[in-house]
Structure 1
C-alpha cells in the first residue's frame, strides 16, 4: 500500500485489518484525502496511516500498533485544533469520528459523551430536557479537545469552564490499559486531565454534570466607530469589574465588512463591537446590562432573545471547514490607550476577516479548583 511509512509493511496492515473493527486508511486508500483533512486549512499534513476505531478496544489496538511501529500519534476528534495538532506528517492519526453519540440522564442531570462526539450533539441532547453543559461556540467542534483544553464559550461565567462540569473520563493509556478516572478512582490522573497538559491517553468517553437552562439566551450588540475605541474600552473595563455572572461579554475590533451588512457611516471602516449574552432571568437583563448603554453613543444597537440552540449554530457555516485560520490568545488585566489605537490601525490594513477581541473572564470560572 503506497504512501505508508517504511516501518509499516503491507503484510502488517493486512494483519491489522483482520482484528481492527474500524477503518484502516493509507495514502493508497479511497478517501485518504478526506480522512487527512482538518478544520484549519493552514495545515495540509499527510499521515502514513489513519485509523478510525469503532470503540475503546480499537483505540487500544491503534495505540499498540503505533508503538510497535514507532509511529508518532495524533488524535483527531472534531479536528478543530487551531495549531493543527489533529494530524501529523508520516505518523498515525487516530480518528474518533466513528465514536459519536451523547446520552443524557435527565433525572441525575448528567451526560455521557463518546470521544468523537461534537458540541452540537451535546447541546441538542441536553436541551431536550432543559439542561446544558457550558461548551464552545461552534457546533462542529469536538467535545474531547474543547473539554481537555478547558472549554470557553457563552455560558462559562455562569456555570464555569467545560472542564469544571467534568465528572469522569474513560481513556486508553499509552500502555493500552482502559482506565476510568474520577475524583474517587484514579484521582491523580483525573486531576492531571483537568489542566496539567496533554498526552495522558486517548479519551474514549466523558461524563458531565448538566445545569438547568434555556431555551432562550438574551443578547445584545452595539457597534461603534473605531475612533471611539478608548471610551468604549473604558466602559467595558469598568463594567467588567462588577458584571453579573450571568453576563458574558466580548469586545472586538474589526473592519465593517461585508460593507452592505453595516450602517453606511462605518461600512468598510474599523469598528468596535461590544456583545453580551445574558444566561439568566429575562426580567434582569435590562438592569444587568444598563451600564453598557450609559457609555459612548453607538452607531447601532440591537438586543433581543433567541433560542440557545440557534445561537450555538449561528456561526457554523462562517467558521466551517476549509478556511485558513490563525489564532493567538493571551491574558491581560488592562489595555493601554496607545495599544487600543494600534489595534484599530492594524485591522484597518489587515486581511478581510481579521479581528482582535477581548472576552470577560471570572465569576464561576474563577470559583472552581
Structure 2
C-alpha cells in the first residue's frame, strides 16, 4: 500500500527529488497545511481571546496525543516549548548544587553537547561523559557509571542521533532516580514515534524530552517534556505561563504548578501544535500506529541494506553499517554508514536529486511513509552510479 497521497503537496513541490532524510526533516503530510491555516484563522477569529482556545482545547489535545503515545498515566505531566534546548535549560536550572554534577555520553545531540560544554567553561557543571563506542558494552558501562553515584543529573539518548543505536535499558536507569537526585533525563527525539515506547512503568521517575520535527511529522516548534511529579518542583528559569493553574510555593514567593506546567515558558507560536494534532488525527483515521509505520520503514531499510550487502550500491557497499538490521528488535528509522568519503557521497547524491545527510564521517539514510519500494530501487541505482 502506498501512503504517498498523504504527502501529495510536499512531493509535488519537488517532483524529481528522492528524499531519504526522514530522520532529519521529515516531509509534512497534507493535513499539516490545513492545520497551519487553521491556526491563522483562529488567531484572526478570536484575537486576544485565542489563548482560551489554545489552553482549553489545542494544548490538552496535544498533551493527550503524547500521553497515549508514551503510555503516560496522565497527560498533565506534559509541557510544550519551541525546542528541547529551552526545556533542558529550565530543567537544569532547578538543580540545587553548583557546579552541577552531570553524567552523560560523548554521543548526545548538539542542543545538549554545546550547552554542557559552556556550563563547564562557566564553572556551572562538571560533566562525566561515557564513550558510546564500542557500543557492544556501552549500556553496561553507562549503567555502572550511573550506579557509582555522585550525580545530580543523568542524561542519555534513547536512540543516538549519529549512529542510530538504541539504548534499551531505561528501566534500570530509571530505578536510580530520586526527587533529591539524581534526576534521569532521556533524549527521545529519535525515539518518539520512531519506535514504540512505553513509559507506563517509568513515568513517575523519568524525564523524557522529544519533539515533532522528525517522526511526528509536525515540523519545528512542537517539542515537549514529560516531567515526573515531585522532581524539579521549582526550576529557576521560568516563564509567566507557569503562573496559571493551582500554584504551590512559599507565601509571597514565586508559585509553581505541581504538574508539568511548572516548566512552561512564555508566549510562543502555537501553530506547531495545530500541525501535530492534525497529523495525529490523520494517523488515527488511517489506522496507522508507530509500530506499523516502523514496520513499513524497516521493510524499506532491509531492501536497501540487502543491496548494500550484495554490492549493488557502488562505493557505499564498502561502508561500515553502524546499526545493521540483525533482528526484530526496535530500531532507529535510519541506516547509518561510516566511511571517510561519507561527505563526498552525500554531495554527489544531492547533485542527483537524492537527499541524505552527514554527521562527520557517517552518512544517514532515513525512511518513512512517503517512500515505497520504487524509491529504494531508485536510491540503489543512484548509489551504484557514484564513482
Q: Same fold (TM over 0.5)?
A: no
The structure with the largest strand share of the pair is 1
The structure with the largest helix share of the pair is 2
Higher relative contact order by CA 8 Å / sep ≥ 6: 1 or 2?
2
